[in-house]
A and B are shown apart, each in its own frame.
Chain A
Amino acid sequence: MELVQKEHERLSKRLKASQGIKNVQSTIDLLQSARDAIASDPSQASITLAKLQNPVKSSFDAINDNLKETHSGLNKYSKSLDKLFKDRPLPSTEHDALSSQEHLINRAIAMHLLREGQFSVASTFLSEMTEKKILDQQQGASSDAAENAANFLDIDEVPSNEVRKQFTTMYYILREMKQSNNLLPAIEWSRDNNQALGARGSNLEFELCRLQFVWLFHGGAQGPEGPVSAGRQAALEYARREFHVFLPRYLREIQQLMGAMAFCPNLQDSPYRTIFNNPSAWEDVAHSFTREFCSLLGLSADSPLYVAATAGAIALPTLLKLQSIMKAKRTEWTSENELPVEIPLPPSYLFHSIFVCPVSKEQTTDDNPPMMMPCGHVIAEESLKRLCKGSRFKCPYCPSESHPREARKVFL
């Protein structure tokens, strides 16, 4: 990388110092002065012209020399690039399963743009897609009706207005929250979706209300400059009005909040300072709001496209190495549904529990589910069948014996 940088710098420097145009100008000057000389004294024409030959020729040579230098600079830069990317060709294009699913990729991109809040780009993208589709339809107008129907289905697959509306709402709430410290839209949303949030075991509504309490406590919209007592009063009123619904679940937390009232003048030294002076509180709440919002839509909080593309970039070196080894050894990739190598991803990229059967070393699937024997050890169904051969058998991990009938299917 350093080499590339150095060569490139050299190249730019050379460009700045380039004499090419100056040489051309000097040639023009030569011709011009010769012309003037001839114009003023036509009798000297032949001598002036004869004298002109060599200087013009040499200035062309100078231009060419200059070009040669630039050429060698470019070549050096090429070499440094080759060196940087040596042994790192782009993956071969043999297995391109994605090109046939262009519309799905486009859909994913549109969703990504929407969830990143790039509404104007997203709408341009969607309208360009529709335009293209209409164009395609016109070209294939002679094709039968079934195909047309399929095309229309594709349009439905593109994120509908509903999703867009949802994300507009989300960004509205987030903007209110972050820019004007207004939690009310978020609280309203979480009340509307109370049940679904509860089913997920989410604290979102309480967290929002608690932050609202803290915000009021610190003086609310007037900021810390306002009278301290007014803030306390407002917070207390808010608690009386709103907190009773939370009592069964969050009694302890509410007690803490109320207890803090007593420490009002010197909260800094009280045990409650973490609740009241948490600089990242707003960030945290915004983050958990985004997560819950997306989860209710059946979407992950981080853009899947981002996670997948990043994971892809991490995985590519390993896959490429695999490809080159397979080519060198002329072996084929035998497991159709599974990658042949383990790919080292950071732990945050692990989203599911993974069960690898300790006997067969295979991952369990719907067709080959994990089975738990009465002793509590789990192996894959196929391994179980192979071990027991229909009769009682010993668990491979402990002395207990059991009948295959007693093994139960489990879900991870």
Chain B
Amino acid sequence: MAAELTSTKLNAENHLLLDQPLLRLPHELARRNFKSVQRIVEREKEHILPALKETANASLSHSQTPDQALAALDAMISRMQGLKRKMENLQQEEKKIHDQSRKRIQHLECLHQIPSLADVKYDQWSRARLDRLIVDHMLRSGYTESAQQLAQEKDIEELVDLSVFVQCQRIAESLRRGETKDALQWCSENKAALRKSQYNLEFELRLQQYIEMIRTGDMGKFVEAMAHAKKYLTPYIGTQSTEIHRAAGLLAFPKDTKAEPYKSLYAPDRWSHLSDLFIRTHHELLSLPSRPLLHIALSAGLSALKTPSCHSAYTSPSSNSLSTSTSVCPICSTELNELARHMPYAHHTKSSVESDPIVLPNGRIYGQQRLLDMSKKVGCVEAGKVKDPTTCEVFEESEMKRVYIM
């Protein structure tokens, strides 16, 4: 067997490919948290300092009674207390995020202590990773309950992002139902970050609101729709001019029009499109990959494991020459067989067969020693005969013929 085929060295740095989001996501959350702190502090500062100055000036010029000054101070104090409360909450949040990050860094650090892929510890680590990947997949597909349960049973709640995905699913679901409120609120929370996004989520949401107003066919609503368009759509005129023109044109078409592109603007599946758009934007913002990590790992893994024999008509999965004594090949196993059907198979430059191959009269090739051992074990074969484990035919030992595989 080729030397490179048997390598079991573990290169941890390379191995972390799949685990980027594990650290990136809490970091993005921490940044977002920080931005909120910055924003509320800034807002209070903008308010308190001028207000204080004004009160002082008013007091100097005696245009204000002391009672008024007191009232103004009281208002300021209560604002500051509000600020403090908010900051405390955000600090709690930040602390939670940091704890989570620390656990994740520790988890990844574990991998660096493992020297070889054959190590038992690697096996454990890899199992934990699979659990993470499954939870990730479940969360993305909306199987929240199962994801929670699995994370709990496997004790990996710190390593998966339940709340993030739950929130994301909730908003996506609300969009699918035809509600824009939650999504718009999310947009306003992430205004700064959205400016860098390659998608125009907010514009699309506003456009949808506009479409819904027109859909009613009510003249009063039309006026409202135009006001809405002026307020929310026109700021995007630089980049979205065609869409805005189309939106204007929509006024002339009834909701059951057959004319494109207005028909598709009225189409109800725009909502599911919006929902997808939201998920894409959400993942982009939190530097999450757009498809489940499990898919990435699986598609690479299936190909790496697949051989031409896996979907061959001539070999039965449970008993081909190598697998009788070991176990069934995972690609041949019923779970993955269909999934792997259209995958490319792994590339090999060297044959790998047992060292003492012989061929039986029916053309099956086995390792001689193992075939003899197995025939002995099966028992029902007389001495001097061998049994083909695949086809169950029985042959004389003398019928085995040496075969040369290069």
Residues of A within 8 A of B (CB): 1, 4-5, 8, 11-12, 15, 18, 20-21, 24-25, 27-28, 31-32, 34-35, 38-39, 42, 45-46, 49-50, 52-53, 56-57, 60, 63-64, 67, 70-71, 74, 77-78, 81, 84-85, 88, 90-91, 93, 95-99, 101-102, 104-109, 111-113, 118, 120-121, 124-125, 128-129, 132, 198-203, 248-249, 291, 294-295, 298-317, 319-320, 335-356, 358, 361, 363-366, 369, 372, 375-378, 397, 408-412
Contact = CB atoms under 8 A, between A and B. Distances in A.
B335 A111 contact: yes
Nearest to A378: B405
Given A312-B302, A353-B365, A366-B308, A8 B336 contact: no
B109 A377 contact: no
A312 B299 contact: yes
Nearest to A397: B406
B296 A312 contact: yes
B24 interface: yes
A369 B392 CA distance: 22
Is chain B's binding surface mostly helix, strand, loop or mixed?
helix
Interface centre among A38, A45, A342, A350 (most CB of B within 10 A): A45
B101 interface: yes
A303 to B, nearest CB: 8
B53 A53 contact: yes
A352 B326 CA distance: 10
Given A90-B296, A104-B339, A49 B55 contact: yes
A199 B301 contact: no
B365 A412 contact: yes
B117 interface: yes
B89 to A, nearest CB: 11
Given A319-B300, A347-B5, A410-B363, A313 B24 contact: no
Nearest to B305: A311
B334 A67 contact: no
Contact of A312 (B105, B138, B142, B304): B304
Which label, helix, strand, loop or mixed, suits the secondary structure of the A interface? helix
A249 B377 CA distance: 7
Nearest to A56: B52
A355 B146 CA distance: 43
A346 B300 contact: no
B330 A308 contact: yes
- Which of B4, B130, B137 has the largest number of chain A CB atoms within 10 A? B130
B120 interface: no
B301 A129 contact: no
A159 to B, nearest CB: 9
Contact of A344 (B7, B301, B303): B7
Given A8-B105, A46-B56, A21 B335 contact: no
A202 B363 CA distance: 24
B301 A201 contact: no
Contact of A5 (B5, B105, B377, B406): B105
B184 interface: no
Interface in B63-120: 66, 69-70, 73-74, 76-77, 80-81, 83-84, 87-88, 91, 94-95, 98, 101-102, 105, 108-109, 112, 117-118
Contacts of B69: 38, 45, 49
A121 B365 contact: no
